[in-house]
Amino acid sequence: MRHWHRQFLGCTQLPRTLSALAISEFFTLNSGEARSVLTRYGLDMRLGTALQIGFLKMCGRPLDKLQRVPVTVLEYLSPQLGGAPPEIATLRAIYGQRRKTPYDHQQFALDTLGMTRFDFTADAPRVLDALCDEVRAGVDGDKLLAQVRVILYERRYVIPAPRTVGELAKHAREKVEHEISGAIERTISPSSRARWVAQLFQLREDGMTLRSFCRSLRDRSTPAATRSIGGTSCCRNNWRSPRKSAPARSRRCWPRVIWNSASRRCYG
């Protein structure tokens, strides 16, 4: 997938303006798509169907909102469908009083592109391994949410609502954290972990506990000096000086200390 395509994934409506590149990329019907539209629908219904196909290619989900459509998109699609662009460029004008027709066009577009609607119970296990690989690689936050949408799109799933995307990211993080916790418990002695916990709650000269200090470093945009716990740094991954990057040979990857509030254990 092209990098610039990712900005559109999950959108629910067309942007007010689209570049010529984007219009050409998403709203060009290949021979099979054009043949399906031309043989299935009359002239008055072809434009709405083609819009659904193009929007599904671009955003990974059907076009629901009866919004104004950029004239440039209509002018690009109409010659492919054997007609002229409408004078009123809104989906409401295109569909008129046909309330069921937009949903028929959505399903037709899904069938044409071979996409299926995402069912969390049935489909989440099929994408969870790929999402966990992203988490293990250090992808988190908004970047992880964006990667969830990419993975769903590449597997021909309709991108679900943001809440479902967030749940998928959460499940992937929890699975990886559980794997890490199990590996740490098997390799690091209980006495070492207990010593780390005690050190985490010791007060510093500034009145903060070491745990609070480590969390403040994670939340800052500018890295600060770190302090070690038994030889293990408590700063975030890939710490680098904000002023001058260290030479490639001397850079270090600082492991993260993980605090499990439920078991009151420290992992790192």
The pLDDT confidence band at residue 226, using thresholds 50, 70 and 90, is very low
Cβ–Cβ < 8 Å for 184, 267: yes
pLDDT cut 90: percent of the chain above it: 49
What pLDDT was estimated at residue 88? 61
What is the rounded distance in angstroms from the CA atom of residue 268 to the CA atom of residue 259?
Answer: 9
- Confidence class for position 218, pLDDT limits 50, 70, 90: low
- Contact assessment for residue 130 and residue 32, using Cβ atoms and an 8 Å cutoff: no
Please state, in angstroms and as integers, the Cα–Cα distance from residue 267 to each residue in 36, 74, 114, 163, following that order: 57, 57, 44, 30
Work out the average pLDDT over 198-217: 86
Output the pLDDT for position 93.
65
How do strand 232-233 and strand 157-158 relate by DSSP bridges?
unpaired
Domain boundaries, the chain: 3-114, 120-187, 190-238+252-267
Q: What are phi and psi of 224, to 5 degrees?
A: -125, 180
How large is the average pLDDT for residues 188-194? 90
Q: What is the pLDDT of residue 221?
A: 45
Distance CA 17, CA 129 (A): 37
Evaluate whether 217 touches 250 at the Cβ level (below 8 Å). Answer: no
Structure tokens at 92: 């409401």
Q: What ranges make up the beta strands (E) of the chain? A: 116-117, 157-158, 228-229, 232-233, 258-260, 265-267
pLDDT at site 257: 44
Comparing 208 with 262, the larger pLDDT belongs to 208
Q: Contact, 50 vs 29, CB < 8 A?
A: yes
Share of the chain above pLDDT 70, in %: 75
- In Å, how far from its chain's centre is CA 95? 32
Nearest alpha-carbon partner for 91 in 52, 40, 118? 52
Burial 124-160 (b: 16+ CB within 10 A, else e): beebeebbbebbeeebeeeebbbbbbbbbbeeebbbb
Task: Centre a 10 Å sphere on the Cβ of residue 8 and count the other Cβ atoms it contains.
Answer: 19
pLDDT of residue 19: 93
pLDDT of res. 90: 63
Q: Is the pLDDT of residue 247 over 90?
A: no
> Is it the case that residue 113 has pLDDT exceeding 80?
yes
Please state the rounded mean pLDDT for residues 248-256: 42
| Pair type for strands 232-233 and 228-229 | antiparallel
Q: What is the mean pLDDT of residues 111-124?
A: 95
Residue 254 in contact with residue 238, Cβ under 8 Å? yes
CA distance 214 to 66: 49
- pLDDT tier for residue 196 given thresholds of 50, 70 and 90: confident
Q: Provide mean pLDDT across the span 191-200.
A: 89
CA 126, CA 115: separation in Å to the nearest integer? 15
